[in-house]
Amino acid sequence: MRLVSLIAAIAGLAAALLITPAVAKDKSLYERLGGYDAIAAVTDDFLDSLEKDDKLGRFFHGVSKDSVMRIRQHVVDLICAKTGGPCYYTGRDMKTVHEGLGITKADWDIMVKRFGETLARFKVPEQEQKDLAGLVVPLEKQIVDHAS
């Protein structure tokens, strides 16, 4: 009987070892990031760092607090939706909303750096950072004004 229990325990452990990584991998990026509140907190920190940045702050000069919060909500919804969360993005597409702002490649590179700093501040694990970068990096061609 004790041998049966031992075999059952070993089988249980083996099953757990086999199943746990598969379950973790199956979780959406939204879940792995910690859900809506975590995404909202990261977005707030990120936008705050852009507004305070010497070079990027100019994009938010003369923009009311309410308008900044509207942008913020769209960014939260976009990340939530793109990472597999239960949100629906109602904002404009990335090309339309950034067209005419004159965002240069140098601005883009600063933004990427600030984004990385925010993720580090929140101790977002390496895999999730890579997965987020995979969503943001391809947006460059829609957001950067390559003529400027």
Chain residues binding ligand HEM by CB under 6 A are: 56, 59, 71, 74-75, 78, 91-92, 97-98, 101, 103, 107-108, 111, 136, 139, 143
- Residues 84 and 139: their CA atoms lie apart, in Å, by 18
- Minimum Å gap between C-beta 10 and ligand HEM is 47
Instruction: Kindly tell me which of 29 and 75 has the beta carbon lying closer to ligand HEM.
Output: 75
- Residues 107 and 56: their CA atoms lie apart, in Å, by 7
- Residues 97 and 126: their CA atoms lie apart, in Å, by 30
Instruction: Kindly tell me which of 12 and 102 has the beta carbon lying closer to ligand HEM.
Output: 102
Please give the residue whose beta carbon sits closest to ligand HEM in the complex.
91
Instruction: Kindly tell me which of 8 and 63 has the beta carbon lying closer to ligand HEM.
Output: 63
The owner of tokens 């070892």 is 17
CA distances from 2 to 5, 6, 7, 8, 9 (A): 5, 6, 9, 10, 10
- Minimum Å gap between C-beta 114 and ligand HEM is 9
